[in-house]
Structure 1
Amino acid sequence: MSLQERLTADMKEAMRSREKDRLTTIRMVKSSLQNEAIKLGKQELTDEEELTILSREMKQRNDSLREFESADRHDLVEKIQAEIIVLEAYMPKQLSQEEVQEIVDAAIAQTGASAPSDMGKVMGVVMPQLKGKADGALINRLVKQQLN
């Protein structure tokens, strides 16, 4: 089942069970997917493009969560946390820090990187492998640690 089909089915289920917050989040994701398809001039997005959009939505929510927490907006923190829980259901399983470290180590060995100036080479190899499976900030931090 494609992501679009799964979202549509979950949207119908959320309507039936009157889960307003879940329904709103699913609609926002569907809208983002449709907008991206229109922007790219495509009828359907590839799995990778869908994952990119989901990752972007998740990153936006996490950024908003940090902002609202620092501003003591507890009402908005709860709303964003609920949206994150809904989005996580559609994201691939997140890799542990150890698994990410193994991939980073392999990429460093593959590229022959040895200095911080080689970070771009390593990130170019690592990011396609870990897209949507690990947080970009974690990946960035691990690569920096290895190259320093």
Structure 2
Amino acid sequence: MSLRSRIQDDMKAALRAKESARLAAIRLLLAAIKQREVDERIAELDDQAVLATIEKLVKQRRDAAAQYEAAGRAELAAAERFEIEVLSAYLPARLTEAEITAEIDAALAASGASTAADMGRAMAVLKPRLAGKADMGEVSRLLRARLSA
């Protein structure tokens, strides 16, 4: 079963259970997926593209929640955190820092990168391996620290 099919099944289940907040979050996700399909003129996104869309939406929700909290709007921040929780259920389990470091070591060996100038080559190897499993900003930070040491 594809990730998109799973999301559609969850939407139907939320509709039957009358979970309006969950249903709204899932519909938002499906709308973003459909919008990307229309923009890119493809029939159906593969699971990797769906994961990238989910990550983008989660990042937007995190930013919005932080802004709402800074503005003293706790109820809106809570709604954003709920959407993050719903969307995160579709993401694969996150890797620990030790697992990310092991992947960085493997990527450095595979790409031959040894200096900060070679960071792009190492990231090109890491990105497909870690997509959806780790925050790429965190991966970049760890890689930069490793290459500058």
Q: Normalising TM by the smaller chain, what interval?
A: over 0.9
Partner of 2:86: 86
Distance in 1, matches of 2:119 and 2:66, equals: 27
Deviation of residue 73 (structure 1)? 2.1
Deviation of residue 55 (structure 1)? 1.5
Partner of 2:28: 28
The 5 Å alignment of 1:64-83 reads 64-83=64-83
Deviates more, 1:11-20 or 1:29-38: 11-20
Deviation of residue 68 (structure 1)? 2.3
Deviates more, 1:51-60 or 1:76-85: 51-60
Partner of 2:143: 143
Deviations 1:42-87 (A, max 9, x none): 2211122111111111121122222223333211110011001101
Residue 61 (structure 2) pairs with residue 61 (structure 1):
yes
Which amino acid in 2 is paired with 1:136?
M
Distance in 2, matches of 1:72 and 1:115, equals: 44
Taking only the aligned residue pairs, the percentage that are identical comes to 38
Deviation of residue 37 (structure 1)? 1.0
Length-normalised TM-score, structure 2: 0.92
Alignment gaps of 5+ in structure 2:
none
Which amino acid in 1 is paired with 2:82?
A
- Residue 59 of structure 2 aligns to a residue whose secondary structure is helix
Q: Summarize the Cα distance change of 1:4–1:70 in structure 2 as closer, same or farther, 3 Å threshold.
A: same
For the aligned residue pairs, the C-alpha RMSD in angstroms reads 1.3
Deviation of residue 128 (structure 1)? 1.1
Deviates more, 1:85-94 or 1:59-68: 59-68
Which amino acid in 1 is paired with 2:2?
S
- Residue 31 of structure 2 aligns to a residue whose secondary structure is helix
Residue 38 (structure 2) pairs with residue 38 (structure 1):
yes
Partner of 1:106: 106
Deviates more, 1:100-109 or 1:21-30: 100-109
Distance in 1, matches of 2:27 and 2:36, equals: 14
Partner of 1:127: 127
Deviations 1:19-59 (A, max 9, x none): 11100000000001111111121221112211111111112
Distance in 1, matches of 2:122 and 2:71, equals: 36
